[in-house]
Structure 1
Amino acid sequence: MDLIERPPLAVVIDLDDTLFPQGSHLYGAARAVGRAGAAAGLDPVRLSRALRRQFLAGSDRAGTIDRALAAYGIAPDLAAGLIPVLVDAFTAYRPRRLPRYPGALDALLAISSRYPVACLTDGNPAIQRAKLAATGLAEAFTTIVITDELGGRTLRKPHPEGLRQAAETLGVHPSDLVVIGDRPTTDMAVAAALGARSIRVLTGEYAADPDEPAPTAHALDLESAAALLGV
């Protein structure tokens, strides 16, 4: 059904690769890991490049730093002592500023002027809140739900608990939501799980992934998604 003919009562928006390019955060975090590696005698540029190559192969895979050290040529017994230090450096990275997608802030403000809006995001809570601060987007949301705060990694999308919590906080039934996100297997899947409609934005790492599950509508970016909502 047309999103303008039957508009939602509230909107839920993903963060990474929907509002800003996640690669910008990963680039800075890789440099922070390189600096931490330098304290152990590693070449910081070489290490950060090895880590960025792993991110390009799939940013949400587990063991990314482990594989970067292996690619660097570090023996497993030596890597075991380095990994906790490098993971801490990655987690502690706090960017001063992260670039939003063009038009994303104006589109978010336009949507939030008409609808209650939640941000629903997965990941380490400290990292995700640092991203929101660095993009300058936090104040535009009615509420922010970080799924890891609800019960760890097992409650990340497509687990429905985060979206259920967002709907409850916004005061609407999940079926009255529209979810905007970039990744079918998480954003579209969690919407489908609770009967919400969804808009897939074709931005970021997963832009070429198949529509499985299919969204209600497609948009090039958040600006285009806002237009589909009539704002």
Structure 2
Amino acid sequence: MNKYKAVIFDLDDTLYPEFDYVKSGFNSVATLLSPRIDQNVAGINESLLKLFHDDRADVFNRYLSLQGIEDKRVLAECIMTYRGHFPNISLSSDVRELLYWLKNNQLGLGILTDGRPDGQRNKIKALELDKIVDAVIVTDELGGVHYRKPNELAYRRICSQLEIQANEAIYVGDNPAKDFISANQLGMVTVMLKNDHSLYKQEGFLPEQQAQMIIKDLRELKSIVFRSNHEQENLSFSPSCERI
């Protein structure tokens, strides 16, 4: 009998590469700015991406400053365009296949994600996850940014929506700074997707911040899901020990 009843996923850099969203947003901003500064969209895109790679902070401020534009209204337009655009992103065929495999094996599917609700909901629609998963929580919708991970309420709430106990869930994320603390405390099995291209640091964290298992490909969840109850009950907590 399968011990687990659901798999709960982080969204960004777990189910799809967050950098794809960044590129999509920059393209929307470049399209906005192109007729105003007499540069083509590709050139603006290239400049924004270079600034982002140099330093992720204040990209639009820095770009506009380089163009001699100090109008705060233009900056606000860039930010709103980025945050509000409908992204050009998609699930990989491997991830889509995995999600349907989990569903076909009677696992509930949840998404637990931080971020501005409109932007996160747009990502979920663009990825067509709203047609696949059983429950979605965007933590800000619980009452503001203080409900973001690792706030325990969001983890409890998604378990309630999936009609499971926390120890019946596998939680999959990529960011030890926030993803696994509450999941570990609640008794979920925690799994980190090791991602060399993640926008977040994945090493150098305290034991309680780290996942119990590390995988390099989401398809490895298949073997985790159907390990025997005996093996799972005797699984030692071994942070950063790759079990692949």
Provide the TM-score with structure 1 as the length reference. 0.82
Structure 2's unaligned 5+ residue stretches are 228-244
Answer yes or no: is the 8 Å Cα contact 2:172–2:191 preserved in 1. yes
Equivalent residue for 1:130? 122
2:173 corresponds to 1:199: no
Q: Is the 8 A contact 1:11 1:115 kept in 2?
A: yes
Matched, 1:13 2:9: yes
- What root-mean-square deviation, in Å, do the aligned CA atoms of Structure 1 and Structure 2 show? 2.7
Structure 2 residue aligned with 1:65, among 57, 60, 63?
60
Residue 178 of structure 2 aligns to a residue in which SS?
A: helix
CA pair 215-35 structure 1, distance change in 2 beyond 3 A: same
Q: Give, in whole Å, the separation in 1 of the partners of 2:4 and 2:55.
A: 33
**How high is the sequence identity, in percent, across the aligned residues?**
21
What is the aligned partner in structure 2 of residue 34 from structure 1? 30
Deviations 1:56-89 (A, max 9, x none): 4576x5x44334434x3546xx152321110111
Counterpart mapping for 1:23-172 below 5 A = 23-41=19-37, 43=39, 44-56=41-53, 63-70=58-65, 72-74=66-68, 78-95=70-87, 97-113=88-104, 114-172=106-164
Superposed CA deviations along residues 22-72 of structure 1, whole A, max 9, x for unmatched, are 11121111011112223442644454334323444576x5x44334434x3
Of residues 162, 168, 184, the one that matches 1:176 is 168
Match of 1:215 in 2: 211
Runs of 4+ that moved beyond 6 A: none
> 1: distance between equivalents of 2:163 and 2:55?
36
CA distance in structure 2 between the aligned counterparts of 1:6 and 1:216, rounded to whole angstroms: 19
Check 1:94–1:199 CA distance in 2 against 1; reply closer, same or farther (3 A cut).
same
8 Å contact from structure 1 (residues 124, 148) kept in 2: yes
Deviation per CA, 1:3-28: give whole Å up to 9, x if none. xx983332211111111111112111
Query: Given the superposition, is the C-alpha separation of residues 73 and 160 from structure 1 closer, same or farther in structure 2, using an over 3 Å criterion?
Result: farther
| Displacement of 1:184 | 1.4
Q: Which structure has the greater CA radius of gyration?
A: 2
- Give structure 1 stretches of 5+ with no counterpart: none
Kindly indicate whether the alpha-carbon contact (under 8 Å) linking 2:19 and 2:199 is maintained by their aligned counterparts in 1.
no
* Aligned counterpart in structure 2 of residue 230 of structure 1, from 202, 226, 231: 226
Deviation at 1:103, TM superposition (A): 0.7
Q: TM-score, normalised by structure 2?
A: 0.78
CA shift for structure 1 position 210: 0.7
Distance in 1 separating the partners of 2:185 and 2:22: 30
Secondary structure at the aligned position of 2:214 is classed as strand
Judged with a 3 Å threshold, the aligned counterparts in structure 2 of structure 1 residues 6 and 53 are, in CA distance, closer, same or farther, namely farther
